[in-house]
Every structure is written in structure tokens, then in C-alpha cells.
Structure 1
Amino acid sequence: MTEFEPTPPRNTATAATVTLAVATVLVATVSAGVASVAAVGVLAFAYGAFAGSRFPVTAGAAAVFLSVLLAAITLRTAVFAPLAAAALTVAAWDLAEHGIGLGEHVGAAARTRNAELVHAALTLGIAALAVAAGYAVYLVGVDGRPVAAVVLLAAGALALFGALR
């Protein structure tokens, strides 16, 4: 009999880390200086995602999210990259949290591939819808307030993912 090992599935940890890395690359296209904060966040996040530790996952995602907000505020002309990076950051955090939960409940030996795929597809689909909606708000926005729309959309995405838990 195999001993219970409460580690997250590697597929989900990898998908979450890659998603956060893509968000960091998007931040780097807007502000290279702020991207260094995001890179440190990705390292902490990756450790937590593979080890099954919630604090490094949350701290790493928060560092990347903060860098996204700083990049969006400092460079007001680029909207799509920070918007997509914010949505991907929240999606990566959700994927990692789901993986940690799977590890805690069923362990590393369980077959969770279908659950992982369905959750990842839904999470990334919702993130894509949030980006599309946010960019649509930006395109039809008046009075030159697109940065406020990006920040409000990011807050809405956080609330949406919180409600999905």
C-alpha cells in the first residue's frame, strides 16, 4: 500500500507557473523595471505551487499582480498587455490553489487529469472573457479613463474568481 502524499499534481503546478510566467512577460513588454518584481513573484509562486504551500503561491501572485498594476499606472498607453497580465495572474493563482486542494484531498497518487483539464479550461476561458470585456470597455470608454477601467476590471476579476471558489 502506498503512503498518502499530499502534493499537488505536477500538471496543474506547471500550468499555473507557466501562466504566471506569461503574465510576467506581458508586464515586461510594458515596463522592464517593474518586471523584476514580477520575476521574484514567479519564483516564490513556483515553489509554492510544486510544494503545495499556499502562502508562497499567494505572495508570488500578489507580487506579480502588484507589478501589473504598477506597469498599468506608469504607462497609460498600453492597455491590453496589463489587462491580459492581470487576468492571467488571477487565473494562475486559481489554478495553483486548485492543485493544492487536489493534493490535500486525494494525494499525488490519484488520477486527476480530467478534473485538472476541466478546471484549467474554465479558468482560462473566464480569464479570456474578462480580458475581452475589459478591452471592450476601454475601446468604448470616454473622457480618457482607460486606466481606471483596467483597475476596476482587475478588481472585478478578483471578485469573480473569489466567488467561483
Structure 2
Amino acid sequence: MTDATELDRSPATLSAWIAVWCGVFAWSVTVPYTIQGSVIGVLGVIFVAISLWQGERLLLSPGSSGLLLAILLAAGDGAPPLLVLVGTTATILAWDIGQHAISLGNQLGSEAETTRAELTHIASSALVGSGIVAVASVASTLPTQPQPLISIVFLLLAAGLLAIAFGPRDLLSIEIPE
């Protein structure tokens, strides 16, 4: 028998820290506007952090959903649209980067050098998120009296881009049966 050592399947460290930071940033958007949202956001950040500490996806989605609910509560209590867009994007980035951190840890182990892959994923996700925030903020500044339809179209376009950019990759791949 060979003496095989088992891989440490901890999440990728850089991505895990960035995901938690994105969650804290998303939570910080809610603080000036809603107490209930801030409490829910704290629970969301705690769930995201526990999920990344354990390397399990079990609490990552509920934690991110809690952060999103906190952002929606802040929006209902008067948060500016740009702040809501940025907070929502930070929430989605926390989920996406956290998923990637856990996947890298499961596939390669924590001893593997993954910094370049992590930075590439973080940068591309942040770039897509920033582009969506830019499109949606332009749509929110359009005059709503004469052209309400164009604002709705831009907002739906931004939501669709978010879904495509951060959605499951299996939905985008098409396999032709033989």
C-alpha cells in the first residue's frame, strides 16, 4: 500500500476573503436606511463566512439571499437607486466568488497555487458587475415621463445580463442528442 495523503479541500483563500468582503460591503449599504435590513444583512454575512470557512455551499445561498433581502429592505426605506444597484451587485459577487472559492478548493485543494485563476475570476466578475451597474444606472437616469418603456427595457436588459453572467453554466450549454 502507498501512503497517500488526503487533499485539504478548504476553499481558495483569496476568493473566500474577497467574497466575505463583498458581503460586508453589501451589508454596509443597508446600515443607514433600515435596522431590520441591517440585522438580516449581518446574518447573511455570518452565513456566507461560515459557508466559506467550512468549505460547504449549504449556507452560501441562504446567506446571499439574506443580503439581497436586506438590500431590498433598504431600497424600500429610501436608499438611492445607485446604492441599491451597487449593493445588489456586491451581493451577487459575494455568492459568485464564494462558489468559485469552494469549487477551487474541492477540485485542487488548498495547497495548489490558484492565485492567478482567482484573480482572473474576481476581475472578470467585477467587470461584468460594474458594466451592469453602469447600464442600469443610465437607465434609471433616463426621463420617465416621455419614454418609460426604454427605462424598463434597460432595467430588464440589466437583469437578464446579471442572470446570464452569474447563472449556472449548464443552462447556457446546449448538447445535441445523438
Partner of 1:36: 39
What is the aligned-residue RMSD (CA, Å)? 2.5
Partner of 1:127: 129
Partner of 2:29: 26
CA–CA distance in structure 1, aligned partners of residues 72 and 169 of structure 2 = 23
CA–CA distance in structure 1, aligned partners of residues 46 and 67 of structure 2 = 10
CA contact (8 A) 1:27 1:67 kept: yes
CA–CA distance in structure 2, aligned partners of residues 73 and 101 of structure 1 = 35
CA–CA distance in structure 2, aligned partners of residues 106 and 6 of structure 1 = 7
> What percent identity do the matched residue pairs reach?
25
- Between Structure 1 and Structure 2, the one with more helix by share is 1
Structure with higher Rg: it is 2
Q: Cα 1:61–1:119, aligned 2, differ >3 Å: closer, same or farther?
A: same
Q: Cα 1:78–1:114, aligned 2, differ >3 Å: closer, same or farther?
A: same
CA–CA distance in structure 2, aligned partners of residues 123 and 150 of structure 1 = 20
CA contact (8 A) 1:30 1:82 kept: no
CA–CA distance in structure 2, aligned partners of residues 30 and 156 of structure 1 = 28
Q: Does 1:160 align with 2:162?
A: no
Q: Does 1:69 align with 2:72?
A: yes
Q: Kindly provide the amino acid, as one letter, of the partner of residue 36 in structure 2.
A: G
Aligned length: 163
TM-score if structure 1 supplies the norm length? 0.87
1:70 shift after superposition: 2.2
Q: Cα 1:99–1:79, aligned 2, differ >3 Å: closer, same or farther?
A: same
Partner of 1:84: 86
1:30 shift after superposition: 3.1
TM-score if structure 2 supplies the norm length? 0.81
1:24 shift after superposition: 0.6
Q: Kindly provide the amino acid, as one letter, of the partner of residue 126 in structure 1.
A: V
Structure 2 unmatched runs, 5+: 171-178
Q: Equivalences for 1:48-67 in 2 at 5 Å?
A: 48-67=51-70
Structure 1 unmatched runs, 5+: none
Q: Cα 1:150–1:37, aligned 2, differ >3 Å: closer, same or farther?
A: farther
CA deviations 1:58-87 (Å, max 9, x no partner) are 110010011112221332x61111110001
CA contact (8 A) 1:87 1:154 kept: no
1:110 shift after superposition: 0.6
CA–CA distance in structure 2, aligned partners of residues 151 and 72 of structure 1 = 16
Partner of 1:102: 104
1:29 shift after superposition: 3.1
